Amino acid sequence: MNETQHAAIDVKGLVKRYGTRTVVDHVDLRLMPGRICGFLGPNGSGKTTTLRLICGLLTPDAGNGTCLGHDLITGRDAIKRQTGYMTQKFGLYEDLTIRENLDFVARVYLLDHVRDRVDRALERLDLASRQNQLTGALSGGWKQRLALAACVLHEPKLLLLDEPTAGVDPKARRAFWDEIHALAAEGITVLTSTHYMDEAERCHEIAYIAYGRLMARGTAEDIVAQSGLKAWLATGPGADKLAPLLRDVPGVTAAAAFGLTLHVCGPDEVALEAAIAPLRRDKTVKWEKSEPTLEDIFIHLMGQARDNAEAA
Amino acid sequence: MGFLHRLLAMIYKEALQLRRDRLTFAMMFGIPIMQLVLFGFAINNDPKGLPTAILASDHSALTRALISTIGNTGYFSFSNAVATEKEADELLQRGAVQFIITIPGDFTRKLIRRERAQIVIEADATDPATTSGALAAVDQAISQTLTREFSGPLAIYRTGESSAEVLLHRRYNPESITRYNVVPGLLGIILTMTMVMMTALAVTRERERGTMENLLAMPVRPIEVMVGKIAPYIVIGAIQVSVVLIAANILFGVPFVGSFTLFGIATLLFITVNLALGFTFSTISQNQLQAVQMSFFFLMPSILLSGFAFPFRGMPGWAQAIGEALPVTHFLRIVRGLMLKGASFEQIVGEVTILLLMLVIVSALAISRYRVTLD
Ligand SMILES: Nc1ncnc2c1ncn2[C@@H]1O[C@H](COP(=O)(O)OP(=O)(O)O)[C@@H](O)[C@H]1O
Ligand SMILES: [Mg+2]
């Protein structure tokens, strides 16, 4: 047995074009079972499209691979049976009750003991008392949890979640992520797209995509280490107000205020020090070297991807 | 086995959604009743006192008695006494009179000689519904008069009902639609209107609300989605038909002389063709508005060219050709045959076969156009 057979997702060179636009551009992705992979990238970078390619909802224009050991194209039905896909837009029926939605999903997957399963799912969700309410009446956070419950009802081996916590309050997000980790602990593989950095940090691994290209891949530490980005932190009176002076200065990728501090980063150590040198003359502000954050790195990668795209 | 279970899940879900959609529900029962009542006035429309020109060249007592009996039916008002045929024709052409009743000079003589005597009625049949009641009354008036006049010693002249013959010329409209013809047509139009539109909407609604992506990510097959979406509407269609038939019978006394079984089979077939068509439309249209537009685009020729609005044989060749391609045209013929003429299976099997063929073609088209992916 080689390693390929173990991977939950193993795709190579995936390409999807709409008209002349290449929306997903030669994406390779490999994910081992039981891992949670955060899928990050700016809006329109191709996250949803990639997830759809993986679960068989779109046919790739090029590339191939396997998902749960089944071929992406010929094994579409088998993949669908073992995968739970949570769409970016709420995909359950708002004019059905909570229970009716779960019943429907359970029946479509030909599950046994539909009643018991749905009872348990409702229990776990804490929605048993509201099971006969119309789904459309639920708030955003509840809808997301219900959608998650619906896509794990058939005990899938792989979960593909598309921005599952967008617009959800922090407490509900935390509850959501606790559930994801519990599922991963049972051996389920999770690939989830997100815009939140704190969620990225809760993932085992991260994949970053921009302009359809996969720009970085690995654990958060790997990505920080690989980035080669340098960063400085300024503290002291008025440090946070310096950000506008550093934007668009050569050698600076990002300058952003965090509370009363200023965080500056750039790819080249010398250029970055040259850029901040004029500001360091003001001795009331203290400057020290620091670690780049994931956000710094993503902004940097996005700029790189844009330059590549424009050059192409 | 799996097929059946998933299919049932689909049907049940659709039925639940349908039940919650009050407006659609109201529409599907409101439309048939509303249309029936509206058209019902047309069905019931039995106008009397229609302007009539009398061209009598025979002035016997019998003729006078006959004219007065015809007048007494109430359907005719002898507005114009004319002397020549030309004069009468001109009146009819202008629309000043609805009928010309011509009693030839030898009418009484022929009757007495036991030869065939003829009364000629020329009717302006551009609006056939107007004339049918009146024409039925003439026949009766004649036999009544003859019975009455040839009584006592003259009874020897009574030679049975065929001695005096009414010759009817329907002018300007060769195929006359009788009052009952409206109901079969109405059935066809109501079913076309609601069934095509409802399924077209049911599928595009999923796409528009974003639930289609979720549905596609689950292991349901196209045929299951299609049949699942269609099945609840078959029941709705059947209920619509029953409502129209019962109401037509109670309110307007429209008879049903043929086989109910044949009618049921033909109707289910027609309903299914329409649903499959609606499903096909939904695979083409991007949103609910487009689905509605396409349904109306289809409804127009169904009303105009099927023989519902205008007599089929009166239409030009190209219009007939389009009409032949519409399911409702064939349904209309089947239902007219069954309801009003008591047609046998052999007599409608040709039309049923055409509907069946349409179902196969349209379903194949729908399935081939339905995508299991979002491509
Ligand atoms: N069906 C489609 N037709 C044409 N363009 C599309 C279609 N779906 C997505 N796109 C384009 O592809 C790009 C990537 O979209 P998407 O995968 O949804 O990005 P993300 O999920 O990362 O925001 C976007 O620019 C979007 O406009
Ligand atoms: Mg997206």
Instruction: Based on the fold, state whether residues A223 and A234 are members of the same structural domain.
Output: no
The verdict on A19 and A137 lying in the same domain is: no
**Residue A248 belongs to a domain with what CATH number?**
3.30.70.100
Ligand 1 atom, smallest distance to A50 CA: 17
Question: Per the domain annotation, does A302 fall within a domain?
Answer: no
State which of A152, A178, A196 marks the end of a domain.
A152
Percentage of chain B beyond pLDDT 70 is 88
A194, A75: one domain: yes
**Residue A300 within any structural domain of the chain:** no
Q: Assess whether A71 and A163 both reside in one domain.
A: yes
Looking at residue B31, its pLDDT comes to 81
User: Is the residue at A303 inside a domain?
Assistant: no
Is a pLDDT exceeding 70 seen at residue B129?
Answer: no
Domains, in order of start, for chain B: 50-171 (3.40.1710.10), 178-369 (no CATH)
Tell me the whole-structure pTM to 2 decimals: 0.78
ipTM of the modeled complex: 0.86
The answer to whether residue A274 is domain-embedded is yes
Q: Are A77 and A20 part of one and the same domain?
A: yes
- If you compute the radius of gyration of chain A from its CA atoms, what whole number of angstroms results? 22
Pocket of ligand 1 (CB under 6 A): A 18, 23, 41, 43-49
Mean pLDDT of A115-131: 91
What is the percent of chain A where pLDDT is above 70? 98
Give the bridge partners for A14, in sequence order. A27
- Same domain, residue pair A235 and A108: no
Average pLDDT over residues B70-98: 81
Per-residue model confidence (pLDDT) at position B32: 81
Cβ pair B374:A52 closer than 8 A: yes
In a domain, A301, yes or no: no
- Mapping DSSP to helix (H, G, I), strand (E, B) and coil, where does residue A73 land? coil
Indicate the average pLDDT of chain B. 83
Ordered DSSP codes for B185-251: HHHHHHHHHHHHHHHHHHHHHHHHHTHHHHHHTTT--HHHHHHHHHHHHHHHHHHHHHHHHHHHHHH
Length of chain A: 312
B24, B29, B34, B39 alpha-carbon torsion, rounded to 10°: 120
Q: What residues make up the domain containing A136? A: 95-152
Q: Are A134 and A199 part of one and the same domain?
A: no
How many angstroms from the chain centroid is the CA of residue B308?
5
At residue A113, the pLDDT reads 94
Q: Whose CA is nearest to atom 3 of ligand 1?
A: A18
B145 token code pair = 């008069």
Identify the CATH number of the domain in which residue A200 sits: 3.40.50.300
Q: Residue A100 and residue A82: Cα distance in Å, rounded?
A: 22
Contact B17 A57 (CB under 8 A): no
Same-domain pairing of A137 and A252:
no
> Are A123 and A240 in a shared domain?
no
Structural tokens at position B209: 């609300």
Q: Give B193's contacts (C-beta < 8 A, 6+ positions apart).
A: B31, B295, B299
pLDDT over 50 (residue B267): yes
Strand arrangement of the beta sheet that strand A62-67 belongs to: A21-31, A9-18, A62-67, A70-71
Helix, coil or strand: residue A17 = strand
Residue A264 lies in a domain: yes
The verdict on A108 and A245 lying in the same domain is: no
Residues A164 and A193 in one domain: yes
Residues of A in contact with B17 (CB under 8 A): 93, 95-96
**What's the total number of domains in chain A?**
3
In a domain? residue A297:
no
Closest C-alpha residue for ligand 1 atom 8: A49
The answer to whether position A102 is within a domain reads yes
Where does the pLDDT of residue B107 fall: very low under 50, low under 70, confident under 90, or very high at 90 and above? confident
pLDDT at position B174, please? 42
Instruction: Indicate yes or no: CB of B10 within 8 angstroms of CB of A91.
Output: no
Compute and round to an integer the Cα radius of gyration of chain B. Answer: 27
* Same structural domain, A166 and A72: yes
